[in-house]
C-alpha cells in the first residue's frame, strides 16, 4: 500500500514553475509601488483576536483561525493586513503628521467551508494611503491599482465604484425599525434583489424611498447614471455621496484608459468602509481581481484619528488570469563532475555564475555495468 500524505483543504503547494511566475508578477508590482512612494511593511502572521475584531467587520470572528497562547489569550491568524497596519500606525507613528504610504504582499488566512473550492490561505498585494482626506487620495489609489494591473498584463478590466455614504443615506430613511434596516442592509450586501424587493414592498416606507431602493439594482453603468440618480428625491447624505462620485469622475476622466463604472449599490463591508469603495473585474474570471476604498474610522478604533484609503489585489485570482499566457523560461546550466574533478568544475561553475548564468552541479553517473 502506498502511503498517502494529506494536505488540508484550501491551501496550495506552489512548485518552482508557479513560484517563478508569482515572483515575476510581484517584482513588477513591487517596483511600481516603490516608485509611487509606498514603503513595504511586514505585519505579524498572528495577533490577538481582539485586534482583528476591532476592525468591526461583522462575521469576521467566525472567519479567522484561532488558537491560544500559553496564558490562554486568544490569538488569530491574520485575515487581512489592513487592520494590522492600523494598529502599527497607532503604535509607531503617533507623532507623525505627514501622510503615510505603506504596501504589503502577504498571505492571509480565512476559514472557509469545506469542499467549496475556496482558498483558506491566499495572497494579497495591497497599498494603504493614510492621512489624506481629499478625493485626490482616492484618485491616487484607483490610478495605482489600475497602473499595476496594466503593467502586469491584465487587459480589459473595469473599475466599479460605489459610495458607502450613499447606502447609509438610503438606510437612514428607515428610521424607526432597526431590524428592518439590518435586513435591508443584509439584502443589499448579499445582492439578494428578490429579498430586497419583498422587504421594501411589505413595509410602510415613503413612496420615494421605496422607489429608490427598488431601482438600486438597475443603477449601474457609466457616469450618466450619477445624473439620473440625482433626480431622485434623496437626503443630504446621499447627495453628498453622489457629488463626491461626480468629483472622482471629473478627476479620473483626465487619465487615459481608465474604464470606470458606477454602482451606488456596491457594498463592500458596510461597517469597515466609510466613503468611496471599488471593485475590479476582468471578463476572464468570475471573481473580483481586487478592491478597496476609504476607511476613515478604522484608525479611530486604535485611538488614532486619521483618514485612510487603500486597496488589496487578489494575487491568486490575478495569477489564474495571467497563467495561461505566461511562459516559464527557466534555463539553468548543468555541470557534471566526478570526485576527481569536483574542485575544478566548482570553480568553472562559479565563473559562469559571475557571468550571470544559473548553474547546477550534478554528479556524473557512469553507465551501470551489467551484472
| Residues lying near other proteins in the complex (CB under 8 A) | 117, 158, 160, 190-195, 217-218, 220-221, 261, 263, 281-283, 285-288
- Nearer to other proteins by C-beta: 193 or 337? 193
Shortest approach of other proteins to residue 279 CB, angstroms? 8
Instruction: Judge whether 20 and 266 are in contact, CB under 8 Å.
Output: no
121-130 and 39-40 as β-strands: parallel, antiparallel, unpaired?
unpaired
Report how far residue 355's alpha carbon sits from residue 158's, in angstroms, rounded to the nearest whole number.
43
Shortest approach of other proteins to residue 276 CB, angstroms? 17
- Nearer to other proteins by C-beta: 37 or 283? 283
What's the half-sphere exposure (Cβ side, CA atoms, 13 Å) at 80?
A: 26
Shortest approach of other proteins to residue 118 CB, angstroms? 9
74-77 and 46-48 as β-strands: parallel, antiparallel, unpaired?
antiparallel
- Nearer to other proteins by C-beta: 135 or 229? 229
Shortest approach of other proteins to residue 151 CB, angstroms? 22
Identify the CA nearest to 269 among candidates 45, 83, 51, 38. 83
In sequence order, the 6+-apart residues with CB closer than 8 A to the CB of 333 are: 352, 357, 358, 359, 360
Q: Name the grid cell of 106.
A: 502577504
- Nearer to other proteins by C-beta: 18 or 112? 112
Shortest approach of other proteins to residue 217 CB, angstroms? 7
Shortest approach of other proteins to residue 179 CB, angstroms? 14
- Nearer to other proteins by C-beta: 173 or 279? 279
DSSP letter string, 76-105: EE-S-SHHHHHHHHHHH-TT--S-EEEEEE
- Nearer to other proteins by C-beta: 198 or 243? 198
What's the half-sphere exposure (Cβ side, CA atoms, 13 Å) at 358?
A: 4
Element (H, E) at 159: strand 158-163
Shortest approach of other proteins to residue 178 CB, angstroms? 19
- Dmax over CA atoms of the chain, in Å, equals 95
- Nearer to other proteins by C-beta: 126 or 265? 265
Distances (CA, A) of 136 to 79, 133, 258, 308: 29, 8, 16, 12
Chain centre to alpha carbon of residue 82: 10
Report how far residue 34's alpha carbon sits from residue 46's, in angstroms, rounded to the nearest whole number.
26
- Nearer to other proteins by C-beta: 38 or 157? 157
- Nearer to other proteins by C-beta: 105 or 319? 319
Residues in the chain, total: 371
Shortest approach of other proteins to residue 283 CB, angstroms? 5
Distances (CA, A) of 186 to 7, 171, 182, 193, 272: 35, 11, 6, 11, 14
Shortest approach of other proteins to residue 113 CB, angstroms? 8
Amino acid at each position: 500500500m502506498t502511503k498517502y500524505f494529506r494536505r488540508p483543504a484550501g491551501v496550495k503547494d506552489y512548485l518552482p514553475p508557479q513560484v517563478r511566475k508569482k515572483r515575476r508578477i510581484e517584482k513588477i508590482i513591487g517596483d511600481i509601488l516603490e516608485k509611487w512612494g509606498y514603503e513595504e511593511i511586514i505585519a505579524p502572521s498572528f495577533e490577538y483576536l481582539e485586534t482583528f475584531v476591532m476592525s468591526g467587520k461583522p462575521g469576521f470572528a467566525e472567519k479567522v483561525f484561532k488558537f491560544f497562547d500559553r496564558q490562554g489569550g486568544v490569538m488569530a491568524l491574520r485575515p487581512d493586513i489592513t487592520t494590522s497596519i492600523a494598529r502599527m500606525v497607532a503604535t509607531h507613528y503617533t507623532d507623525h503628521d505627514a501622510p503615510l504610504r505603506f504596501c504589503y504582499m502577504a498571505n492571509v488566512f480565512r476559514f472557509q467551508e469545506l469542499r467549496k473550492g475556496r482558498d483558506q490561505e491566499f495572497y494579497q498585494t495591497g497599498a494603504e494611503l493614510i492621512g489624506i482626506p481629499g478625493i485626490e487620495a482616492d484618485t491616487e489609489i484607483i490610478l495605482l491599482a489600475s497602473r499595476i494591473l496594466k503593467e502586469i498584463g491584465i487587459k480589459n478590466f473595469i473599475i466599479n465604484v460605489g459610495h458607502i455614504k450613499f447606502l447609509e443615506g438610503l438606510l437612514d430613511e428607515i428610521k424607526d425599525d432597526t431590524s428592518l434596516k439590518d435586513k435591508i442592509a443584509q439584502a443589499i450586501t448579499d445582492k439578494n434583489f428578490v429579498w430586497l424587493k419583498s422587504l421594501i414592498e411589505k413595509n410602510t416606507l415613503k413612496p420615494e424611498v421605496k422607489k429608490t431602493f427598488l431601482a438600486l439594482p438597475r443603477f449601474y453603468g457609466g457616469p450618466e447614471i450619477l445624473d439620473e440618480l440625482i433626480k431622485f428625491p434623496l437626503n443630504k447624505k446621499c447627495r453628498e455621496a453622489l457629488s463626491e462620485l461626480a468629483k472622482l469622475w471629473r478627476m479620473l476622466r483626465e487619465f487615459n484608459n481608465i474604464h470606470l463604472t458606477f454602482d451606488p449599490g456596491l457594498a463592500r463591508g458596510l461597517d469597515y468602509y466609510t466613503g468611496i469603495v471599488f471593485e475590479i473585474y476582468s471578463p476572464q474570471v468570475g471573481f473580483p481581481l481586487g478592491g478597496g476604498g476609504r476607511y476613515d474610522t478604522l484608525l479611530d478604533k486604535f485611538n488614532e484619528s486619521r483618514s485612510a484609503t487603500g486597496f488589496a489585489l487578489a494575487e491568486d485570482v490575478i495569477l489564474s488570469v495571467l497563467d495561461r499566457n505566461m511562459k516559464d523560461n527557466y534555463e539553468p546550466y548543468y555541470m557534471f563532475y566526478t570526485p576527481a574533478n569536483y574542485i575544478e568544475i566548482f570553480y568553472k561553475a562559479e565563473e559562469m555564475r559571475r557571468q550571470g548564468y544559473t548553474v547546477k552541479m550534478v554528479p556524473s553517473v557512469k553507465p551501470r555495468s551489467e551484472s
